[in-house]
Amino acid sequence: MMVRPARDTELEAIRKVHLAAFGDDERETVACLACELQSNTSDPRHLGLVAEEQAVIVGHVMFSPVSVEGDDRILGFILAPLAVSPPRQGAGIGTLLVTEGIRILSGSRANIVFVYGDPAYYGRFGFRRETAEGFTPPHPLTYPDGWLALRTNDARPLPNAAGISCVPPLDRPELW
């Protein structure tokens, strides 16, 4: 198993992983989102990683930059989306992708990483509701308990309250 940066030439394989990993009600939306984020080269801070096994992509994750209102010196990201091919789910591939992404972002002086997902799953990596409290997501949340954050370093104090802005592909109310 190898986790490495995704390449724009792998969009179809990335799309297939997301289509397979998500249910009928969201698979097309998430697969399109993953490809749109992965192909966004306008901001070099985007981080896309794939898990590759025997030359086959079996997992993908994106970390995209976010802006924290009131302080442009805070380097923030949001983890979305994450997918692992169903036959390989439960084998630790998602864990490898998330852990490697956090490691890379921590090394790049990121201050905070947000995620909107399952607290039981993302809590294993240190994502907490308490850390996200005070940070207002770009749109109202369908599942407020899923708004989580991980502090990746303490180099810069974070505000007690601030709005979050995300890249255009994620700035759609139906995703929240």
What are the residue boundaries of the structural domains of the chain, listed by start?
A: 2-175
- The pLDDT mean for the chain works out to 94
CA atoms within a 13 Å half-sphere pointing along the CA-CB vector of 12: 1
Do the Cβ atoms of 130 and 176 come closer than 8 Å?
Answer: no
The CATH class for the domain spanning 2-175 reads alpha beta
Chain mean position to CA 96: 13
Residue 73: strand, helix, or coil: coil
19: enclosing H helix or E strand: helix 11-21
Q: What is the pLDDT of residue 33?
A: 97
pLDDT digits (tens, 9 = 90+) for 61-100: 999 999 999 888 889 999 999 999 999 999 999 999 999 9
List per-residue pLDDT tens for the chain, 176 residues long: 999 999 989 999 999 999 999 999 999 999 999 999 999 866 778 999 999 999 999 999 999 999 999 888 889 999 999 999 999 999 999 999 999 999 999 999 899 999 999 999 999 999 999 999 999 999 999 999 999 999 998 767 788 789 999 999 999 999 99
